[in-house]
Each structure stands twice: as structure tokens, then as C-alpha cells.
Amino acid sequence: MFSLIEASSSSLPVLSAMAIFSISRDLGPLLLLVLTAFVWKKHFYMRGLTYRKTVVPVSRERLMKSIFYVGFLGSIDAVLRRSGQLLARLPIMAHLLPREASTSFLLRMLLLHMPWAVWALRGPLSDRGSTRDDHGWSDTVTRSRFWKAVASYFGCRIVLSEEWRQLDETQRRRWYDRHYVIAMHPHGLLPLGAILNGLTWAGGGLRGITASGAELPEPENGGKLLHQRWFRHMKLRAAVASGACGLFPGFYEMFTTLGAFECTKPFIRDRLREGKDVAIFVGGAQESSFASPNRYVCFISTHKGFVRLALEEHRDILPMWTFGDESIMPQILHRPAWLVALQSFWRSITGIQVPPAFSGFPQLVPLTLVTGVPVSLEDLWPAKLGDAVTDAAVEEGHRRYVKAQQKLFDSNKALVAGGHQNAVIEFL
């Protein structure tokens, strides 16, 4: 009897060690994700800022992404392992699932960890896969039938604002050959209409057609790239949150091939100085919180970095609004405080709205991207390219932009499909 008690007592440390290992194996990756999240939040590692003066070193960015992937894959692995253990207790599943833990481990390695590692090392963790520039852009991808197939479910088109009709030929010619900082609204949970119409040929590319269907004479010798039938030298790229374009399979490939890169000032500046046009979703993920049918929010009052950047780089601002993006994935307007806090926390880390708070099913609505008349900032530019600009100049440029966006919205809301004639834009 005493020997049995002694044997049982000696096995307790072994059982405790096994329990600790099992718990650590389950919770360790999750704690790693939480730690990574706080570091990212503090240093803006995965968001990008339109007017950020410092750049995260490439080595540190890759290290942080690698740590994130370890924690992320470890968490998925724990869920799969525990789910398999529970399912194995069901008689109907006992013969379908692997009996040996080692077999299950090998399957997870072959089907989850190894493919992800190969993807990450060839993609976001490699030199050629960096999201700091637009080298992944592909004209072929912008013309893909895939985008046209997706657009066919909505009814996509890109048009000129009715304001262009008020300009004479000389005034219109002024804008044909310039490059721009392009300000996009609304963000929506996912700005699908802006992506389809703006970054692909799904909407047909910009031509001399206004929202009412009026045809304006197009400039001679237009280019063959996207939107060059109207803006003859446009080479469109998009600055987005790096959390959106650089972390996960599918999103990474979509954004990089469509010319998206991290929305940090030096990277945007480099693209502008290469003679490219950069689109920025000025409202950001904060604007996506207001995505709901019949609500039109332009989250702009505190976002002025894009104006300062345009002034420094001697660019005008091209305003755009996509009617319909606000309705695709309706969000709860009156969210509980805990959900608001959670979304704000993750948005400050990744620059995207997670977790989403759906108030209904996704809607197949017409998506019309309206292109306004450029906002002239030439009189506010500094003497030399890249010179500092005054706060007063930024405020004036911002005021002009808000006024232009209001005019664009009001001039076209009754002319586009989707029943927006009674829409009222909100500037927050």
C-alpha cells in the first residue's frame, strides 16, 4: 500500500509538468500575439502613417512579422489540435481522424505550417515581396477577367463629375497632363467599389463621360494604361495600411499586384517623385466604422497629412467619391462600448476595422466612382520641392478640399444609380 502511495506521489510532478507544457503550448502563441499587438500599437509597425517622418527598419519589420506569424500559426495549430481531440471522441469520427498524435502533427506541418512558411519567405518577408514600394504592380492583373466578373454582380462604373461640364476646353486641358495626390472616400469596411473602378479596368477606365451620361471630348494622344484616356500620363498606385496589404495570403497578392504599398510618407513621396499618382483613403479605417446604407461620412476633420504632403511635393489633389461603398457591408451604428474599444484597439494596430460588426448581410449595390475637378493648390506650394509648408497653407488646402468634396457629392448624388438623391454628406 505504501509503495503504491509513494509511486503515485512520484508521478505527480510528471503530470504537472505535462499539464504545464500542454497549457503553454495552447496559450503561448496567443500571448505572443498579444505582446506583438502592443508593440505594434506603440510604434505603428503595421499601420503606416501618411505623414510619418521615420521609417521602421526593414529588419525590424520582418522580425515583427515573423513573430506574428509564429503566434498566429501556433494559435491556429492549437485550435486544430484541440478540435481534433474532441472530434476523435465521437464514434463516427474515430475512424476518419488520425489515431497517432505524431501523424496529426505531420499533417498540420504539411498542410499549414510549411505552405505558410514558403509563402511568407517568398512574399512579405523577402526583398522582392516588400510592401514599401509598388514593384509588384501588374498591368495584366488590372485587366484580369476576374475583376470584371466580380464587378458584374454590382454594376460598376467610373465617371467624371458634372462639374467638368462647367469648364471650357482650355480649363479642362489644364488638368490632362498633371499628376495628383488622389483623395478617396468613403472607406467602407472594404472599399470594393474604389478598388474595382479605380485600380482595375472593371469599371471601364476613366473616359470623357459624366455622371449624367454627357460626353466630353477626350484629349488627343491618350495613353493605354488605366485612366489615361482622360488623364494622359496617369500611373495610378494606392497607399494603404500595411496590415491590410502585407500580412495575409490573398490580400497580399491582391493589393501588391494592383499597385498598393504602405501609406507612410517617404514611400508615398518616392512614388510621387517617380511621376506616379497616389490614391489615399483619407478617412482610413475610422471611416469604415460608419459604413451603413444611407449614411455618407467623410472622416476628414483631423486628417490633414495628405494635404501637407501634396503641398510639399507640388501636387494638386484629385477628389473622388464612390457611391455604394457605404452599403456593401452594413455596420452597426450604435455599437456597445466594449466593441468600440476592441475595434479601436485593433484598428490602431493594423489600420483595418476588426472585428467587423455587421448589421445585416452584404448587399449587391451599384458602385459608381465619381472623379471630381482637381483642387488647385499651386498658389500654396513652397518655393522648392520638399520644402516645409506653413500650417496656414495646410489649413487653406484642407478647406478647399472639403469644399470640393461637398460640391462633387451634391452635384452627382442624384445622377448615379442606387437611390442617393436624398443623401447628405457628413464631415466628421
pLDDT digits (tens, 9 = 90+) for 145-188: 999 999 999 999 999 999 999 999 999 999 999 999 999 999 88
- Spatial separation of the C-alpha atoms in residues 319 and 402, rounded to whole Å: 9
Rg of the chain (C-alpha set):
26
**Given the C-alpha cell 507544457, which residue does it identify?**
21
CA 275 to chain centre: 23
Beta-strand runs (E) in 133-267: 156-160, 180-185, 236-240, 260-262
CA dist list (Å): 119 to 33, 64, 69, 76, 112: 20, 16, 11, 17, 11
Is the pLDDT higher at 347 or at 113?
113
Is the pLDDT higher at 404 or at 189?
404
What is residue 166's three-state secondary structure? helix
Domain ranges of the chain: 2-122, 139-427
Task: For the chain, give the percent of residues with pLDDT over 70.
Answer: 89
CA angle 329, 332, 337 (to 5 degrees): 140
Q: How confident is the model at residue 129, as a pLDDT?
A: 83
Residue 29 predicted with pLDDT over 80: yes
What is residue 370's three-state secondary structure? strand
**Given the C-alpha cell 466594449, which residue does it identify?**
338
Residue 3 predicted with pLDDT over 70: no
Q: How confident is the model at residue 21, as a pLDDT?
A: 64
Mean pLDDT over each residue of the chain, to the nearest integer: 86
- Spatial separation of the C-alpha atoms in residues 281 and 288, rounded to whole Å: 11
Q: For residue 15, name the pLDDT band (cuts at 50, 70, 90).
A: low
CA dist list (Å): 47 to 52, 56, 261, 284, 317: 11, 11, 11, 10, 23
Nearest to 236 by CA among 202, 195, 282: 195
Q: What is the tens place of the pLDDT at every residue in 51-106?
A: 555 777 888 888 888 888 999 898 888 888 888 777 777 776 666 666 677 888 88
Sign of CA dihedral 397, 399, 405, 408: negative
**Given the C-alpha cell 513573430, which residue does it identify?**
67
**Are the beta carbons of 195 and 326 closer than 8 angstroms?**
no
State the number of CA atoms in the 13 A half-sphere of 290 facing the CB: 18
- Spatial separation of the C-alpha atoms in residues 234 and 258, rounded to whole Å: 14
Q: How confident is the model at residue 1, as a pLDDT?
A: 39
Q: What is the tens place of the pLDDT at every residue in 248-288?
A: 898 899 989 999 998 888 899 999 999 999 999 998 878 88
133-147 average pLDDT score? 94
Q: How confident is the model at residue 7, as a pLDDT?
A: 44
C-alpha torsion angle, residues 36, 351, 396, 179 (rounded to 10):
110
23-39 average pLDDT score? 80
- Spatial separation of the C-alpha atoms in residues 354 and 360, rounded to whole Å: 16
